[in-house]
Each structure stands twice: as C-alpha cells, then as structure tokens.
A and B are shown apart, each in its own frame.
Chain A
Amino acid sequence: MSTFSLKIVTPDGVQFDGECEALTVRTTSGEMGILPGHINCVSPLGMGRASISVNGEKRYAACMGGILTVLNGEVRLVPTTFEWADEIDMERAKDSETRARKTLGDSRITEVEQRLAEARLKRALVRQGVGTQMRVK
C-alpha cells in the first residue's frame, strides 16, 4: 500500500515521524481524511479524535487545536496537544470534566471564564471518548 510521510509535533516533542497510509483528523470544518497524493492544503484543527493507519494498523489519539498542512506530499500535523489513546489519563480527564461542569454551573462567572470552562469540558470529553474506545476494544 502506498504511503506518505507524516510528522506530528507538539510543544512537548515529536509524537510521530514516519510513513503512514491514512490519516483522519478533526478540523474546524469537520472530519478530514488524508490519503497519499493529497492536494496541497492547510486547515486549522478542532478538538477531536485522530486516527492514523500505519502498516494496516489503526492508532487513535486525542488531538486538540493547531494546524494541519499538506505541502508537496508531506503532511505536517502541528497540534497544541496530542495524546495517544493508551496514554490518556482517564482519572485526570474525569476530574477536569467535574471541575469544568462545576464552573459552568456557577451563574456568576464571566464570559472569559465560561469560554475557558467550555473548552476544558470539551477537551475532557474528547479525551474520555478516545480513552474509553481504546479500552473497550
């Protein structure tokens, strides 16, 4: 099967660097699939599940914020945070969810606080979603 080169880099380090057969990520305008020979493209990332096929095996990860670029057949995924499904700390994600829900339940919060809490809630839910799916399989 044909492959393309993929680099996944976050501020915490290089998460993946190698050949891959297919990549699906969540961009701000919806799911986007990349196969070899994709047209040059740039898109901002949303928050959601990313899946990467390497040697016929699919790996999942929680991928939040950042940029996806395809330039001359080279794919660079530069998210703000990227966690492989088996590395997700479920306890922490649950904690974060409860905290975010508590903040949102408070009626006195400012608009900024609300936005932050909403983002935190969403991240926690994505993490838990990806993490659970991994454990069920």
Chain B
Amino acid sequence: MAGVSAKAITTRIRTLRSTRQITKAMEMVASSKLRRAQARIVSSRPYFNIIYGVIQDIAAANREHTLPYLACEKNCADKITYVVIAGDRGLAGGYNSNILNKCYAETAGCACEVLPIGKKAVDFFSARGTALLSTNYAGAEHVDVGDCFTLARSLCRRFRRGECKEVRIGYTNFASVLTQTPVTLKLLPLEGGHSAPGASADILYEPSSEEVFETIIPEYIGGVIYGALCESRASEQAARRGAMDTATQNADDMIADLSLKYNRARQAAITQEITEIVAGSQS
C-alpha cells in the first residue's frame, strides 16, 4: 500500500459515493419515465400497426398508377428527406450515437436533407453541415400528436412539389427493456401497384381516389411519425436506465475495492506504529 495514504483513499471513496448517488437517482427517474413510455407504446402500437396495414392494403390493391404518393413526382429533385428521431440529453448509453450514426452512414454519399427531432439530432447534423429542414423540433419530449400531423403535412407538401424523391424516417425500435434497435423506414413513395394475393377486387373511394389519397396519406405519415416517436422515447429511457444501472454497479465495485485498500493501509499504519514503539522500548 505504499504511496497511497489512507486520507487520499477516503476522499476518493467519498467522491465515488456521491457519483453513485447521482447515477442511482438517474436510474430511478429513468425507470419511472420508462414505465409511462411503455404504457404509451402499448396503447399506440395497435394504431401504428393498423394504419400501416390499411395503407399497405390499399396501395397493394390499387390499380390506378396515376395516384399521388405512389411514385415520385416528375422532374423531382434527386434528394432524400430524412426524419431522424433522437433524444434531448446524453447519458443514455449508446442510444443517441447508435441511431445518429446509422442515419449518418445512410445519408453519406447521397443528396439529402434532414429533419431532426431531439436536441442531440439537431446538434449532430448541424455540426456535420448537413442541410436541415427545420430546427423547431429540438425538444423531443415536447413534440405531441398535433406536431406530428403538422410535420407530416409539410413533408407531404414537399414530396408533392417534387422537392424530394423519397421520405424516410430513422428511429429506435423498442424491442424490449434490454434491447433497442435503430431502424430506418421508407415512408414515401408508397410501394404499391403489384396486387398482393388476397387483396381482392376494386375499392370504392369516396369521394374520389385522388382526394382520398390526398387526405389519408398525411394522416398516415403523421400516425407513423407519432408511433416512431413513442418507440424512440421508450427506447431512450430504457437505454438510460441500463446505462445508469451499469454505472451504479461499477461505482459499487470501485467502492468495495477502495474500502479494502483503505483497511489495508490503516492496518499497515498501525503495524508500523507498533513496530516503532516496540523498537523504541527495546533500545
């Protein structure tokens, strides 16, 4: 134990204890937020699945190839619009970097513009000089259903005006509390025209097919963005909970290790003192 005084060790232990307190508190906050986010997912997932299914069915059964949103507009710009959902804060393990790097790798080498949601996404893409559509959604926690629909409408308008050839969304899928996977999904143009088995006969569009598509596609995109947002939020909390749990455990290990060292140092000091006293009395 030479070189490390008992005093230095106690100071380190004290610092570690306070760090541990912080990580423990963050873990608990993340757990309670995660519970709420999970409840949201459970209620929004059916909507997400049904609206996705409905649109796929319609697109597959569709035989009119002139409908909007099924293909990109003529003379459209050679650009892809990405909606990227990340978090507002760090200390969430690999949550932010996983999704941001995945999207960045995909955007590299092609003309694209990004609509970031969450402060981390805004910072990441502006630091790399990617063209940003808007920075109004820097607070991922404050984006609500209404914002999703507004955003969807503006994305659809851009697509219809031919300002981009594709719209994609990057978010983190909440597979379970322990696994979250970053994914990218193509929103527009819709895959369609090829009649899927089972999708029978013609569909009556009321009032007209163009009008129906004009109205329901923005609804659909809004629904999907909202669903992706719910998934991402839950993933963020789960990732943070995991990261903080590990940090707390590491702090525990270090405290145990240092306590052992401290006791040894104390014992060594006592032994030395006794030796000195004994040596002194003998002389």
Q: Is A129 an interface residue (CB 8 A)?
A: no
Q: CA separation between A134 and B187, bound complex, in Å?
A: 40
Collect the chain B residues with CB atoms within 8 Å of residue A14's CB.
43, 46
Give A62-82 interface residues, CB cut-off 8 Å to B: 65-67, 69, 71-72, 76, 78, 80
The digit string for A4-30, where 1 denotes a CB below 8 A from any CB of B, is 000101111110000000000001110
CA distance A37 to B106 in the complex (A): 47
Contacts of B223 in A (CB 8 A): 11, 78
Q: Is A43 part of the contact surface with B, judged by Cβ < 8 Å?
A: yes
Taking CB as reference atom, which chain B residue is nearest A46?
A: B215
B226 touches A32 (CB 8 A): no
Q: Which chain A residues (34-82) contact chain B, with CB distance < 8 Å?
A: 39-44, 65-67, 69, 71-72, 76, 78, 80
Which residues of B are found within 8 Å of A66, using beta-carbon distances? 219
Q: Which of B51, B149, B200 is A67 in contact with, Cβ under 8 Å?
A: B51
Number of interface residues of A (CB under 8 A): 26
Q: Are B47 and A42 in contact (CB under 8 A)?
A: no
Which residues of B in the span 15-69 have a Cβ within 8 Å of any Cβ on A? 42-44, 46-47, 50-51, 54, 57-58, 61
Counting chain B residues whose Cβ lies within 8 A of the other chain, the interface size class is 20 to 34
- In the bound complex, what is the Cα–Cα distance between A107 and B192 (angstroms)? 46
Q: Do A40 and B204 touch (CB < 8 A)? A: yes
Q: Given contacts A69-B54, A76-B54, A80-B219, are A41 and B205 in contact (CB under 8 A)? A: yes
Assess whether A40 is in contact with B203, with CB atoms less than 8 Å apart: yes
Contacts of B42 in A (CB 8 A): 13
| Contact A13 B204, CB 8 Å, known A42-B212, A43-B212 | no
CA distance A57 to B223 in the complex (A): 31
Q: Does B185 contact A (CB under 8 A)?
A: no
**A78 touching B201 in the complex, CB below 8 Å, given contacts A27-B206, A42-B206, A43-B212:** no
| Residue contact B219 to A29, C-beta cutoff 8 Å | no
Give every chain A residue within 8 A of B202 (Cβ-Cβ). 40
Q: How far apart sit A12 and B200, CA to CA, in the bound complex (Å)?
A: 31
| B268 on interface, CB distance cutoff 8 Å | no
How many Å lie between the Cα of A43 and that of B149 in the bound state? Answer: 18
Task: State the Cβ distance, B146 to closest chain A Cβ, in Å.
Answer: 9
Given contacts A11-B47, A66-B219, A71-B61, 16 further A-B contacts (CB under 8 A): A9-B46, A9-B47, A9-B50, A11-B223, A11-B227, A12-B43, A12-B44, A13-B42, A39-B204, A40-B201, A41-B205, A44-B212, A44-B216, A67-B220, A69-B57, A76-B50
In the complex, the 9 A-B pairs of residues with the closest C-beta atoms, listed nearest first: A13-B43, A44-B215, A41-B204, A43-B206, A29-B207, A40-B203, A9-B47, A67-B216, A9-B50
Could you jot down 16 A-B contacts, CB within 8 Å?
Answer: A7-B50, A11-B145, A12-B43, A12-B44, A28-B211, A40-B200, A40-B201, A42-B216, A44-B219, A67-B54, A67-B216, A69-B54, A71-B203, A78-B47, A80-B145, A80-B219
